[in-house]
Each structure stands twice: as C-alpha cells, then as structure tokens.
Amino acid sequence: MTQEKRAYKRDVVIEVTASLMFPFILLFGLYVMMGTGGTGGGFQGGTILATGFILYITVFGTDKGREKMPESVNVFFKSFGLFLYNGAGWLCILFSLATAQWLNMPAFWPVTEFTGIAGARGFLIAYMISVGIGLTVMASFVSQYFDLSMKEDDEMDGDEG
C-alpha cells in the first residue's frame, strides 16, 4: 500500500512506539507459551505472538507486514507447529507401545542423567506440544488477519472479485 492510498496520515509517534513494543510483545508471548513452572500456555502464547504481528501490520500496513511475515514463513510456521504437535504424539505412541503416555516418555532420551530430575522427560514432550500449538495458532491468526486486510485493500483499489 503506497502513501497515497492510505486512509490515514503517517504518525511517527505510533510507528516508533509500535516498533519498540514489537520485540517485547513477542518475548512476552514466548514467556507465556513456555511458562515458569510448567507448560500449558500454548494457545495463549500463540495469540500474544499473533498480536505482536497484527500490531505491526496495523501500524505499518500490509506491504510492510508481508515483508516481516511472508506467506512462505507463515505456511512454514503452521506446518511446523502441526508437525511438532503430531510428532510428539507419534513419538509417545511408538516408544511407549501404543499406550500414549504423554508425560512418561521412555528413556531413549537421556534427560534424567543430565538434569537429575526424573520427570524431566515429560516436560520435553509437554514443551513440544505447547510450542506446536503456539506456532500453529500464531500463524493461523496472522493469516486470517492478512486475508481480512487484503480484502479491504482490494476494495480500496476498486477491484471486485
């Protein structure tokens, strides 16, 4: 979207504030996703990550937003998130003889020797699931916002589809 087609004027204060807030919103989204005492914030963290990208797209426009998050990267995040979530389930099914014990991953990962914590194996699977959900939610929300904002851009150009 060029400067002439914008419905509003450029505001330096909003752009500087949004560009300063963007990395902190992403960091907070990762913090919510991974948690301090355990996992369980995959969906919430994914929505906060998507909020950071949506703020950037809203302030700078869809063209700059596409530079920050191209469609190929968005599709990769959706696919990789589903791969992590599905892969964690298949690992548990395959290595626990089809009992699918999510938090009792068998000892082919020598995590307990490194950490000294017997339950550390289960946290790895829980983190994989949480990150998978968060990436998929983030990419889906950003994709939906791009679809809605691109429709609005097409109407401004006079193209009807």
How many Cα atoms sit within 13 Å of 160 on the Cβ side?
0
CA distance 68 to 63: 9
Distances (CA, A) of 36 to 30, 32, 105: 11, 8, 21
- Residue 14's closest CA among 25, 22, 6? 22
Q: What is the DSSP letter of 69?
A: S
Query: What is the DSSP secondary structure assignment for residue 103, as one 8-state letter?
Result: T
Tens-digit pLDDT profile for the chain (161 aa)? Answer: 555 555 567 788 889 999 999 999 999 998 998 876 666 788 999 999 999 999 999 998 888 888 888 899 999 999 999 998 888 878 777 766 555 555 555 445 555 555 555 555 566 777 888 889 999 999 999 999 988 887 654 555 655 55
pLDDT of residue 47: 95
- Contact between residue 131 and residue 84 where contact means Cβ atoms under 8 Å apart: yes
Which residue has 């914008």 as its token pair?
A: 6
